[in-house]
Every structure is written in structure tokens, then in C-alpha cells.
């Protein structure tokens, strides 16, 4: 098998190596990729959406429909992992295995995690809210926020975190994140615009059409962040405890 | 000789991603352990993501964020200069989508491997195939 795989990969590698001849040089500003469509966004994004971060404006406004289903993909992945792994509660009490020595709560780890976790959460909120003007946005901030919960679960154990963050509420909140996204788009329809055309929000918010695009993007990013944060924690909790949701790592 | 040197300078980053892609593909085909296969899949995805992000790079260009960017104020520049000074944002956007979907698929793959381990008590491919034949 190893030999067959080597032959196949090397053959494919030779073919792709030949194909790199036709690719543009690295860093060439006249490459086909940066000639046609991207210049439109660079020239018009500021006037149409008043968002300086081009990546955010393209992701959450021009390609908003795409991002909506991307959020749905994450939500579906979380639900799928839960469906595959989760076992129904067994009535008989499992005998609790005592943790091996040296693996119980570590004082230094807990003290550090208690100080770091609030800072991580604050920084995650900054990344979400400031994603229009600096690198960041809903997905990035959501992952940082979810990582803070995972840090606590590693430092204490999964039970301690799940006592404060119920499994049911994790799933409901991740659904609410998708609902915020779709809701913002639907209200655009009600207000007489197209689906996810945030300009229609200007009638309600009392700002210009261009600024309404910016505010609509912020709302959408918050919805994305909520979904990502809870699904990331849900993935960790399911995978680390094998669907038992009892002890984790 | 000079042509060869310019070709190497212009294309060497593609070759790096190509090697990474082949490592991932080889791991996916030849490894018996399912977790190692999934690691190979992740390497494969990373190679593709790096390839696309490198396409968006322009020499001397700044990050795709206007108004707080580096260099002179946009007022004193022509449209062509602004376009040349900003990196191409589209590959970044599309690869952000690819990264997110990659994380989702990784999570689902690991969950399926755990389920397989629960049923067959192994994650080695050949042992699993033997056990399926026995049934």
C-alpha cells in the first residue's frame, strides 16, 4: 500500500509541478486574480458600506447569503457530533473512577485559568465588536470565546463548567445565533428591501443607508459569534467525554 | 540559467504548498490508523488554504483594511495607486469560509472515529475490515 501510494502521489506531484508553470509569479500585482473583481471591492466598499475592513464587508455584506449557510454548516456539525456520540442517560449509577494521583485539580493551573479566562472573554468581545476596523469578526471572536470555556474545562473538569453552562442552553443558544442572522435578513424583507440587504434598516435605525449596512453587519457578526462560541464548546465537550458529558479529560 | 532562476524565484511558494499537499495525500492513502488519516486530511486542507491566500498577495501591498492602513492618506492617491497598495481581499474571504468548514468536518470525522472505536474496539483499518468480514 505504501508503494502504491508513493507512486500515485509522486505522479500527481509531477503533474501539478508542470501546472505551476502557467501560474502567475508570486506577488505579481497584475495576476488575473487581482485584475477583475477584487478592484471593484477595493474602490467601492467604503462608499457603499462605510466599513474599512474589506474582508468583513465582503463576507458579511456582499456575500452575506453564503456566510448565512456557512453558519448553518457549523450548527449542523455540532448537532451531528451530538447525534453520533450522545448516549441516553443510563439509570444505573456508574462507579466513579477516582482520578489517578497527580491528575486531580492542579492549584497553579486553576489559578492561572481563573485569571486568564475573563481576559480572554473580554478580548473576544473586542474582536467581534471591532471587526469592522481591525482584523477580526464573528468567527474569530467566537472561537476565542469558546476557547475560554475549553480552558476552564481543562483546568477544572467538564462537570464544573457544565454546571454553569447547561448542555441544553448551549444548544439553544447556538440555534439562537443562526436565528439572529436569519432574523436580520427577514426584517430587511419586511422593511421592503431584499433578503439580507441591510440598507432597508435605515428606516428603523434613523441612519443613512450606508451606515445601516455597517450596523446590519455588526448584528450579523454577533449572531455568527454566538453560534461559533457555543458549538466549539459543544464539540469539545462531546469529543472529550465520548458523549457521556460526565468527566471529560 | 537566468530563466531558471527567475522561474524559481517566481514559483517557489507553489512548490512548498505542493509538497505539503502530497504529504497529506500520502498520509490519507497509506496510513492504517484512522486518526492519522484525518491528520493527513487536515494537512491537505491547510496546503490548499495557504495556496489561495498566497494568490491574494501583491508585492509591496498592505493588508486589506482601508483608512487605518499604512502609507500616505488615500486622498493624495489615484485610484490605481490605491488598488495596487491593498492586497486582494477575495482569497482571504473565501479561505475564511474554507477554514470554518474544515473545522466542522474535522469535528464530525473525529466523532465518527470515536463511534467506530466504540463498536469495533479498534481504529486500525485492516482490523476493522477483518471484523466486518467475520460478521
* Single pTM value for the model: 0.88
Q: What is the pLDDT of residue B5?
A: 87
**Given a cut of 90, is residue B30 above it in pLDDT?**
yes
A134 shares contact with chain B (CB less than 8 Å) = yes
CA-to-CA dists, residue A29 to A24, A62, B15, B81, angstroms: 9, 23, 20, 11
B124 strand-pairing partners = B33
Q: What is the pLDDT of residue B73?
A: 60
Q: pLDDT-based confidence at A246, cuts 50/70/90?
A: confident
Q: Are A174 and A167 in contact (CB under 8 A)?
A: no
CA dist A170 and B63 (Å) reads 36
Q: pLDDT-based confidence at A115, cuts 50/70/90?
A: very high
Neighbours of A94 (CB within 10 A): 9
Nearest CA-CA partner of A240 in A88, A85, A93, A124: A85
CA dist B79 and A40 (Å) reads 11
The alpha-carbon gap from B133 to the nearest alpha carbon of chain A, in Å, equals: 20
Q: What is the pLDDT of residue B86?
A: 87
Q: For residue range B3-18, what is the model confidence (pLDDT) as tens digits? A: 888 888 888 899 999 9
Q: pLDDT-based confidence at B39, cuts 50/70/90?
A: very high
Q: For residue range B52-73, what is the model confidence (pLDDT) as tens digits? A: 999 888 888 888 888 655 555 6
Per the model's pLDDT, the better-predicted residue between B10 and B21 turns out to be B21
B65 strand-pairing partners = A53
The alpha-carbon gap from A210 to the nearest alpha carbon of chain B, in Å, equals: 16
Residues composing chain A: 249
Residue A137 backbone class (left: φ over 0; alpha: ψ -120 to 50; beta: rest): left
Residue of B nearest to A242 (CA): B114
Please give the distance of CA B39 from its chain centroid, rounded to a whole number: 13
Q: For residue range B73-120, what is the model confidence (pLDDT) as tens digits? A: 656 667 777 778 888 999 999 999 999 999 999 999 999 999 999 999
CA dist B91 and B56 (Å) reads 6
**Given a cut of 80, is residue A243 above it in pLDDT?**
no
- The number of CA neighbours under 13 Å toward the Cβ of A97 is 8
CB–CB contacts below 8 A, A to B: 157
B86 strand-pairing partners = B62
**Given a cut of 80, is residue A69 above it in pLDDT?**
yes
Q: Mean pLDDT over residues A163-168, rounded? A: 89
Per the model's pLDDT, the better-predicted residue between A77 and A1 turns out to be A77
What is the dihedral sign for C-alpha A38, A43, A44, A47?
A: positive
Strands annotated E in A123-227 = none
Task: Return the minimum-mean-pLDDT range out of A5-19, A26-40, A221-235.
Answer: A26-40
Q: What is the pLDDT of residue B16?
A: 93
Q: Mean pLDDT over residues B40-58, rounded? A: 93
CA dist B24 and B36 (Å) reads 10
**Given a cut of 90, is residue A96 above it in pLDDT?**
no
Q: For residue range A196-215, what is the model confidence (pLDDT) as tens digits? A: 889 889 988 888 999 999 99
Q: Are B58 and A29 in contact (CB under 8 A)?
A: yes
Q: What is the pLDDT of residue A124?
A: 96
Contacts of A17 in chain B (CB under 8 A): 15, 18
Contacts of A27 in chain B (CB under 8 A): 57-59
Residues whose CB is less than 8 angstroms from the CB of residue A114 and which lie 6 or more positions away in sequence, other chains included: A155
B/e letters for B1-27, b = 16+ CB within 10 Å, e = fewer, are eeeeeeeeebbebbeebbebbbebbbb
Amino acid at each position: 500500500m505504501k508503494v502504491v501510494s508513493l507512486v500515485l502521489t509522486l505522479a500527481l506531484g509531477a503533474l501539478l509541478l508542470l501546472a505551476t508553470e502557467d501560474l502567475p509569479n508570486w506577488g505579481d500585482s497584475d495576476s488575473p486574480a487581482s485584475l477583475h473583481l477584487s478592484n471593484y471591492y477595493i474602490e467601492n466598499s467604503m462608499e457603499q458600506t462605510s466599513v474599512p475592513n474589506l474582508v468583513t464587508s465582503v463576507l458579511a455584506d456582499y456575500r452575506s447569503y453564503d456566510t448565512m449557510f456557512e453558519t448553518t454548516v457549523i450548527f449542523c456539525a455540532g448537532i451531528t457530533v451530538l447525534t453520533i456520540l450522545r448516549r441516553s442517560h443510563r439509570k444505573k449509577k456508574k462507579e466513579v473512577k477516582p482520578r489517578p494521583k497527580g491528575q486531580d485539580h492542579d492549584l497553579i493551573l486553576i489559578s492561572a485559568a481563573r485569571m486568564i479566562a475573563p481576559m480572554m472573554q473580554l478580548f473576544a468581545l473586542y474582536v467581534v465588536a471591532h471587526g469592522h476596523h481591525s482584523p477580526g469578526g464573528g468567527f474569530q471572536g467566537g472561537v476565542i470565546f469558546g476557547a475560554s470555556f475549553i480552558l476552564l474545562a481543562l483546568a477544572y473538569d467538564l462537570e464544573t463548567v457544565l454546571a454553569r453552562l447547561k448542555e441544553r442552553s448551549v444548544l439553544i443558544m447556538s440555534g439562537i445565533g443562526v436565528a439572529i442572522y436569519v432574523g436580520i435578513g427577514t426584517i430587511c424583507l419586511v422593511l421592503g428591501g431584499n433578503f439580507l440587504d441591510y440598507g432597508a434598516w435605515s428606516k428603523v435605525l434613523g441612519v443613512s443607508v450606508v451606515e445601516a449596512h455597517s450596523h446590519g453587519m455588526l448584528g450579523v457578526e454577533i449572531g455568527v459569534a454566538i453560534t461559533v462560541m457555543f458549538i466549539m464548546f459543544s464539540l469539545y465537550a462531546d469529543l472529550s467525554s465520548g458523549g457521556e458529558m460526565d468527566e471529560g479529560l | 540559467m537566468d530563466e531558471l532562476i527567475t522561474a524559481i524565484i517566481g514559483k517557489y511558494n507553489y512548490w512548498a504548498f505542493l509538497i505539503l499537499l502530497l504529504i497529506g495525500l500520502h498520509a490519507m492513502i497509506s496510513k492504517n490508523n484512522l486518526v492519522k488519516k484525518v491528520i493527513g486530511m487536515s494537512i491537505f486542507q491547510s496546503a490548499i488554504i495557504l495556496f489561495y491566500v498566497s494568490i491574494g498577495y501583491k508585492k509591496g501591498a498592505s493588508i486589506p483594511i482601508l483608512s487605518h492602513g499604512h502609507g500616505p492618506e488615500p486622498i493624495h492617491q489615484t485610484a490605481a495607486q490605491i488598488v495596487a497598495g491593498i492586497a486582494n481581499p477575495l482569497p482571504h474571504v473565501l479561505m475564511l469560509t474554507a477554514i470554518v468548514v474544515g473545522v466542522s468536518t474535522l469535528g464530525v470525522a473525529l466523532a465518527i472515529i470515536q463511534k467506530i472505536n466504540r463498536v469495533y474496539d479498534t481504529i486500525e483499518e485492516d482490523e476493522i475490515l477483518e471484523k466486518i468480514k467475520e460478521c
